[in-house]
Structure 1
Amino acid sequence: MKQRLLIVLFALSLFFTSCGSDNDLVGNWIKSSSFEGRARSGAVSFVIGDYAYVGTGYDGKDALKTFYKYSLQDGWSRIASEFPGVPRREAVAFEANGKVYVGLGVDDDDERLDDFYEFDPATDTWNPTAIDMTNGPSARQGAVAFTIQGIGYVGTGYGFQEGEDRNNLKDFYKFDGSWTKIAFDGEKSKNSTVFVISDKAYIVSGENSLKYVWEYDPTKVSENSNGWTRKEDLDDDNNWEDVQRSQAISFVINGKGYIATGRNSGLSREVWEYDPTRDDWDEKTSLEDEVASREDAVAFSLNNRGFVTTGTVVGSGAYFDDTWEFNPTMDEDDNDN
């Protein structure tokens, strides 16, 4: 009888251990070198080679134009060449043919901007002349931008279209030395996030489009296709409603996309991983206690490592300059913060 009881207790322990392990989330946030510039929100980021660049934004008093670069070996340093445009927040950045272009956004007078400036990463210098915006996007903030095969893409946002102000937008453009308007099958939206995996872009969520994920594959553009594919919705049918948010960040590690921070009904602490081969989302470890909830942050990937920095809590007066690395395969460890 005693032996039978022990067997039953052992079986129950295995059962509960198995059930508990199914609910364990994986992922670890690791404190990294703090951003060297002024704490800010609404900045832009881009990566060229072994360096990530972060600049522009808003520090709670003024729009900014300073840029800093970061490498895993050297940490943060300021770019000596000054961004030639007016200070701004909620701008975008993309690469095209080895150069980087930063533009759009809103200035200190809440005027939306329609200019772009070219940065040469080989010399860390800016071209002081704004590029030709003929056939390009109109003035806006909160747009998305990405690069595929040396061509830049910009679209959505909030601003002017056909003379109308205060309007969410859905128009899209590509840039390969000149601007060309392209079709977009999605909704008008602002403050979405975007990441690129295997030369396909994924635009996720955003205000007015919380449940949508759109994939853009330029190789599929034809007479019968705009190149856009609507992926599985972020809704409760898939238990993915917590992915929905605006003003989030995203980055890519080992062929998977990650989305974190941002806001829905409140600030989001959940972290989700997207596998494009399965069109499937998996929840990872949320922001740890030491990582402040935030929106309007930026993120970047270096050598298959994902980083998050800057951001704010709107209305609180809090602006951040801390930097965190996310390891999606490591168990949570608060002692490494």
Structure 2
Amino acid sequence: MKRFLPHWLLVLAVLCLAGCNDDDTTTTEDILGVWSGRSQFEGLARNAAVSFTIGDKAYVGLGTDGTSKFVDFWEYNPATNTWTQKADFPGVGRYLAVGFSAGGKGYVGTGYDGANKLRDFYEYDPVANQWTRKADFGGSARYGAVALSIAGKGYLGTGFDGNAKKDFWQYDPATDQWTQKPSFGGNKRQGAVAFTLNNQGYLLLGSDNGSYMADVWSYDPTNELWTQHRELINSTDYDYDYSALPRANATAFVVGTHGFVALGINGSTLTSCYEYAPEADTWTQKTSFGGVARTYPISFGLGDRGYVGLGLASALRLDDLWQIAPNESPD
């Protein structure tokens, strides 16, 4: 004999199927962001390069193809969608270095040359197209660190010097001096990402002893305090218990007043992209990256667009560049 559910139970089941998804309530129609291919990087394909922006242009260089450690540097002009080669980096070729800009100059240092961890630092003047060696990084030689700039000063922290690190240092271009600041508020790590919003530095994600991280922290230089924020998770809806999205060797950039995180690895390589709104302390999923999944890419934000490229897909080094219009709706 057949048994039938009461009418009210059938209604409840339908409602639950429609709205009780434990993973993500974001529908395809809700996800914004349009990716489009841009002019390929004109240097050789590579991963673990560095990038920074000065004015309305981006600068990309260093990295490795698995054998060579590069010293070439290139300028990208989004207005003309073209690359122009600039003066070679004067230090030894390297990868997993850091780069940031401050006061109209670019700064590059630390990294790994295939045999040695490094702590030398250099300044790039885009007007003179010239590099100048500056004071060595104040901490230990390392690779896989992060760097950012706040109010004309540079900051560098975390990374790997034989052990994962959590120290944090400030660089003053006016005095060419490094000063140690309060250590990062989270666990030691390498392969993290960082960006600057509202005169605060954000340091997030990465790995420590094989564990992938999803935590997010900000540093306020005015009171030298670290504050923990909402983890990178797959929804902004507080009514559901959504999963954290840990990853390392990803990339991050800023468009307008929001930060973005894309790609990376958490056991498998990823194409997902998320937007962080500091005013609400929330994460919003964006359209997945338009290219192949990868680790160790570069990225930068210019105007109202974000750019992501290069990197490592399995054993393949890449030389592509992609642009995202983060607030446009896909067709």
**TM-score grouping bracket, smaller chain normalisation:** 0.7 to 0.9
Match of 1:103 among 105, 109, 122: 109
Q: Which residue of 2 aligns with 1:318?
A: 316
Q: Retained in 2: the 8 A contact 1:98–1:150?
A: no
CA distance in 2 between counterparts of 1:26 and 1:212 reads 24
Q: Which residue of 2 aligns with 1:114?
A: 119
Deviations 1:269-311 (A, max 9, x none): 21111110011111121124xx111000000011121000100
Q: Which residue of 1 aligns with 2:142?
A: 140
Kindly state the Cα deviation for residue 34 of structure 1 after the two structures are TM-superposed. 0.9
Q: 1:293 to 1:101 in 2, by over 3 A?
A: same
Deviations 1:112-162 (A, max 9, x none): 1110011112212112xx3223x7121100000000010000010001xxx
1:301 aligns with 2:301: yes
CA distance in 1 between counterparts of 2:278 and 2:199 reads 12
CA distance in 2 between counterparts of 1:97 and 1:260 reads 27
Q: 1:238 to 1:136 in 2, by over 3 A?
A: farther
Q: 1:22 to 1:228 in 2, by over 3 A?
A: closer
Deviations 1:204-248 (A, max 9, x none): 1100260210111212x1xxxx32101123468752512x21011
> CA-atom RMSD, angstroms?
2.3
Kindly state the Cα deviation for residue 317 of structure 1 after the two structures are TM-superposed. 2.5
Q: Which residue of 1 aligns with 2:10?
A: none
Kindly state the Cα deviation for residue 70 of structure 1 after the two structures are TM-superposed. 0.4
CA distance in 2 between counterparts of 1:292 and 1:283 reads 18
CA distance in 2 between counterparts of 1:22 and 1:168 reads 36
CA distance in 1 between counterparts of 2:248 and 2:182 reads 23
CA distance in 1 between counterparts of 2:80 and 2:157 reads 34
Q: Retained in 2: the 8 A contact 1:35–1:323?
A: yes
Query: For 1:70-81, what aligned pairs fall within 5 Å after superposition?
Result: 70-81=76-87
Q: Retained in 2: the 8 A contact 1:105–1:141?
A: yes
Query: For 1:1-337, what aligned pairs fall within 5 Å after superposition?
Result: 23-24=27-28, 25-108=31-114, 110-127=115-132, 130-133=133-136, 136-159=138-161, 166-176=162-172, 177-184=176-183, 185-208=185-208, 210-219=213-222, 221=223, 226-234=224-232, 239-242=242-245, 244-288=246-290, 291-313=291-313, 316-333=314-331
Question: Across the two proteins, how many residue pairs are aligned to each other?
Answer: 299
CA distance in 2 between counterparts of 1:271 and 1:95 reads 24
CA distance in 2 between counterparts of 1:53 and 1:80 reads 9
Q: Retained in 1: the 8 A contact 2:142–2:160?
A: yes
Kindly state the Cα deviation for residue 195 of structure 1 after the two structures are TM-superposed. 1.2
Q: 1:84 to 1:231 in 2, by over 3 A?
A: same
The DSSP-based 3-state class of the residue aligned with 1:158 is coil
CA distance in 1 between counterparts of 2:213 and 2:319 reads 28
Give the TM-score normalised by structure 2: 0.84
CA distance in 1 between counterparts of 2:256 and 2:241 reads 24
CA distance in 2 between counterparts of 1:180 and 1:75 reads 39
Kindly state the Cα deviation for residue 22 of structure 1 after the two structures are TM-superposed. 5.2
CA distance in 1 between counterparts of 2:40 and 2:131 reads 25
Give the TM-score normalised by structure 1: 0.83
CA distance in 2 between counterparts of 1:30 and 1:74 reads 15
Q: Which residue of 2 aligns with 1:9?
A: none
Kindly state the Cα deviation for residue 259 of structure 1 after the two structures are TM-superposed. 0.7
CA distance in 1 between counterparts of 2:152 and 2:241 reads 35
Q: 1:265 to 1:118 in 2, by over 3 A?
A: same
CA distance in 1 between counterparts of 2:73 and 2:113 reads 16
Identity across aligned pairs (percent)? Answer: 38
CA distance in 2 between counterparts of 1:301 and 1:329 reads 14
Q: Gaps spanning 5+ residues in structure 2: where?
A: 1-13, 235-239
CA distance in 2 between counterparts of 1:95 and 1:329 reads 26
Q: 1:149 to 1:207 in 2, by over 3 A?
A: same
Q: 1:78 to 1:137 in 2, by over 3 A?
A: farther
